């Protein structure tokens, strides 16, 4: 069965040591990695030598994207899927390091800034996966003074933030969650979707929840 894990950069990824679990596993599916997570994955020993499909995704018009692509001996085995929004200078830099490029011109990418959602949709649209698991796609943060510019009892917090259980959603998280649920309606065939974040707010009747350790073993 064609399957993959989407790897986002949410806080649950580190709270539950999901990269370490993946690195120690014998998972035989593909990896759909958001650009911010490429360097941490490689540092953890998660490389294209170990996983048969290794894709990295970028979609924003920002120079900082260059920092997400390190020089590595694995570059020629990594396919970078990018949106038309990514700057030419950034793409030229990525190519200079030996990575392979492929542009995704899907029109729906114009209505979201969520690279995790881009990776998820590429999985069913292009790779025709039958199963997609997700880690690090929290669409929320854990409450802490470092994460919040306002106290939870302030008018600004009540106006801009939403609390779901123990998690807090900023305005961008709220938009990402709405987009993700909407995009589920576009999937043209039955697909098994598994949320292995063990946290966050990405919940829907079409999404099964499972501990990542149990999913891998």
- pLDDT of the residue at 141: 75
Measured CA to CA, the distance from residue 217 to residue 212 in angstroms comes to 9
Query: What does the mean pLDDT of the chain come to?
Result: 91
pLDDT tens across 65-91, in order?
999 999 999 999 999 999 999 999 999
Is pTM beyond 0.85? Reply is yes
Average pLDDT score over residue span 53-64:
95
Q: Taking the mean position of all CA atoms in its chain, how far away is CA 67?
A: 17
Average pLDDT score over residue span 50-67:
94
- pLDDT of the residue at 173: 81
Where is mean pLDDT largest: 4-18, 145-159, 160-174?
A: 4-18
- Percent pLDDT > 90 in the chain is 71
Q: Taking the mean position of all CA atoms in its chain, how far away is CA 72?
A: 21
């Amino acid at each position: 069965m064609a399957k993959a894990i989407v790897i986002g950069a949410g806080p649950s990824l580190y709270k539950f040591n999901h990269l370490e679990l993946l690195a120690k596993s014998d998972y035989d599916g593909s990896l759909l990695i958001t650009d911010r997570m490429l360097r941490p994955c490689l540092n953890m020993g998660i490389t294209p030598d170990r996983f048969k499909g290794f894709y990295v995704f970028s979609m924003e018009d920002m120079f900082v994207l260059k920092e997400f692509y390190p020089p590595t001996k694995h570059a020629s085995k990594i396919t970078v899927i990018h949106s038309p929004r990514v700057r030419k200078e950034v793409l030229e830099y990525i190519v200079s390091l030996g990575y392979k490029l492929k542009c995704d011109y899907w029109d729906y990418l114009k209505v979201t800034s969520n690279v995790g959602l881009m990776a998820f949709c590429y999985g069913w649209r292009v790779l025709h996966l039958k199963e997609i698991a997700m880690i690090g796609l929290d669409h929320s943060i854990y409450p802490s003074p470092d994460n919040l510019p306002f106290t939870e009892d302030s008018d600004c917090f009540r106006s801009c933030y939403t609390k779901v259980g123990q998690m807090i959603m900023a305005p961008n998280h709220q938009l990402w969650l709405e987009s993700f649920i909407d995009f589920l309606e576009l999937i043209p065939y039955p697909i098994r979707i598994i949320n292995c974040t063990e946290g966050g707010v990405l919940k829907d009747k079409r999404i099964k929840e499972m501990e990542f350790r149990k999913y891998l073993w």
